[in-house]
Amino acid sequence: MTNIRNNEQSRVDIESAELLDADINVQMHPKSYYMPISVPSSIHNQFPNFVYGSHSSPPRSLLGQEKELSSLYVFSINQPFSIDGKTNHPLLISEDINGKAKRAYRLSSDRFLSRDIRKKPVITTGDHRVLATVKIYSNLAEIIQPLGKLPIEFSNEDWNDIRSDSVTLVGSNVTVTQQSITEKKKSLNNAQVNVRAPSSSNTETKFIKATMIDETRNLVKLIDKDISKEPIFFTTQPDHIVYDNELPQIKYYVNFTYDTTDAVYLSYLRSNLNWKTRYQLNLFENSKPATLIAMADIRNDGQSRIDIESAELLGGDINLEKYQKTHYMAVGYAKSESTYADMAPGAAGPPPPPSVGKGEELSGLYVFSINQPFSIDGKTNYLLPMFRPRVTVERYASISKHFYSAGNVNGKADRAYRLSPDRFLSRGNCIIRESDRLVGETSLPDVAAKNKHEFSIGQDADIVYKENSTLVSSYTTNTTSSPYGPKQSRTQSIYDVVLTLKNYKNRPVKVEYQQQVYGQSVKLIKTSNSNYTQEGSTIKATFTLASDEEKSISYKFELVN
């Protein structure tokens, strides 16, 4: 589909058209756009070319096959068409695009593809009481609901949270032949209003009845006897107008013509419904295994309640964009169904609350299904229990540092953990408790089953270290890659490092040390101490310190810059 936008107020009738795309250096003078101010008297007038709810469609406006012209591409439209003001008019492209897609995407096409430029939508409230199938991602959700009467109406508030380029029809056998998105607002022209009279003074303000002539300019018509017995016209300030009724709101109408033999559903992306995982990691003495509690935190950040018939939570690295907006903070927690509290005395108890099923892998993503309907009020966080993965957690003290030059360095080890789950963990915040006491928190990334994730949550004051680095030797040579090439200096240095560790605890601890060395090349010089190993430019070692033990270990390395 290609999308043509008429951003003016008036309808335009087009006899023939060509769409040109590529790198075209043509500038348009910027101008200020008024908000939409008028609406025809009936819904039918907004879409004069459509037969609502009908599968039969008018002749399709198809884009012809493109032609290359001076490094530009020209798409011809094969018949006349019209676009109402403030309307998006998608057109069907004459041939499908051949492509392939998995988690890594390689798109190939037998013709030039024009780039897609999206516009931001507007602002939101309303009530979605239609039971919907929802696929919820970390930053937005796909709403899929039965297609109702056409055209479909969205309030200005609802539309703000919908990605307009995502609104479409889905089904096992549906072909969209035409689609339009129209922005409308009832006009105030010819409406009776109250305005501050021109004869008013700073000490006395009078309001008199007037007729709105042009709301875009606040042009009104009135009779002020202190000025003239005849009607006068003048423009007034917006705050000098008092309305008898609530101002009309902008609404958006989406219409389709389509061909199908099966059920049809409306699909769109909603940016104010999302989810994340919350974890609580409980650690105990060595004899008792660790437990990891996972909760799905679903957030409805819109003003309206949404009723969900079935839902899937999708986790993993998903490349879906949403339009940024300012969000309010969470204000409450939802019940499983608000109607349960209103059940008559003596009635059967509520069904069990929804729960999140075990994640299933799908093309590099993980899908968590929710087993029954539920509702989320506006501005609400709704938490559901997830799986209970089995995890192994190894505690150790971590010393991780970078080498810059010879000298003395001292510090404290970090309290570190190495976690390995038996199933996929979607990313989320994790609260950590040791023996029922809160000891810290961390942000877990997506972790594959049986993979290991290392993290630290603060320093351990009982494990301290001192490191003394000494330059043993250094010499510089000038080298060149060819007899006529420029000379380059090469400095080769050998450092001796003495690491002293002290454990002030009354129990043994495991310490893992690693030092990242930056240079053209790094080489660990073998010593009698076999604790040290080299991985790339990092020197590593693992030690076990008994209670109140102090230990000194040294190593040498060669650095070339």
Q: How confident is the model at residue 126 (pLDDT cuts 50, 70, 90)?
A: very low
Range of the domain at 290: 274-385
User: Could you tell me which residue, 312 or 530, shows the higher pLDDT?
Assistant: 312
Which of 76-90, 144-158, 439-453, 479-493 is the most confident on average? 439-453
Rounded CA separation 164/268 (Å):
8
The lowest-confidence range among 58-72, 378-392, 457-471 is 58-72
Does residue 88 contact residue 181 with C-beta atoms inside 8 Å?
A: yes
Residue 46 has pLDDT above 60, yes or no: no
84 pLDDT band (50/70/90 cuts)?
A: confident
**Could you give the 3-state DSSP secondary structure of residue 274?**
strand
In the chain, the number of structural domains is 3
Rounded to whole angstroms, how far apart are CA atoms 274 and 283? 30
* CB contact at 8 A, 498 and 554: yes
Tell me: do 288 and 401 sit in the same domain: no
CA distance 152 to 169: 12
Please state the three-class secondary structure of 170-201 as a single string.
Answer: ECCCEEEEEEEEEEECCCCCCCEEEEECCCCC
238 and 320 inside one domain: no
Tell me, yes or no, whether 414 and 356 share the same domain. Answer: no
445 lies in the same domain as 496: yes
Of the pLDDT bands very low, low, confident and very high (cuts 50, 70, 90), residue 110 is low
DSSP-H helix ranges across 495-556? none
Asked if pLDDT for residue 198 goes beyond 70, the answer is: yes
Is 411 in the same domain as 556? yes
> Quick one: 381 and 416 in the same domain?
no
Residues 442 and 546 in one domain: yes
| Average pLDDT of the chain, as a whole number | 80
Burial class (CB in 10 A: 0-12, 13-18, 19+), 559: buried
Q: At which of 354, 385, 416 does a domain end?
A: 385
Cis peptide before 198 (omega within 30 of 0): no
Is residue 444 a part of any domain in this protein? Answer: yes
Residue written as token pair 């057109």: 91
What is the band of 122 on the pLDDT scale with cuts at 50, 70, 90? Answer: very low
Final residue in a domain of this structure, among 385, 412, 434: 385
User: Do 463 and 547 reside in the same domain of the chain?
Assistant: yes
Q: Evaluate if residue 106 carries a pLDDT over 60.
A: no
Tokens representing 67 are 């032609």
CA-CA distance, 332 to 315, in Å (whole number)? 24
CB atoms within 10 A of CB 309: 14
Longest distance between any two alpha carbons in the chain, whole Å: 111
The tokens describing 362, both together, are 């799908």
Q: What is the mean pLDDT of residues 66-90?
A: 69
User: Are residues 400 and 346 both part of a single domain?
Assistant: no
Cα dihedral sign for 184, 78, 60, 93? negative
Report if residue 477 sits inside a domain.
Answer: yes
Residues 402 and 332 in one domain: no
- Is residue 49 in a domain? no
Residues 282 and 362 in one domain: yes
Same domain, 222 and 304: no
Residue 428 within a domain: yes
Using the 3D structure, point to which of 364, 385, 406 is the last residue of a domain.
385
129 in a domain, yes or no?
A: no
Does residue 103 form part of some domain?
no
* Residue 199 is assigned to a structural domain of this protein: yes
Cα separations in angstroms, 199 against 82, 204, 208, 209, 244: 47, 9, 11, 14, 22
Contact call for residues 561 and 535 (beta carbons, < 8 A): no
The verdict on residue 82 lying in a domain is no
pLDDT tens across 221-262, in order? Answer: 988 777 788 888 989 898 889 988 888 889 999 999 999 989
So what's the pLDDT on residue 185? 87
Query: Is the whole-model pTM more than 0.75?
Result: no
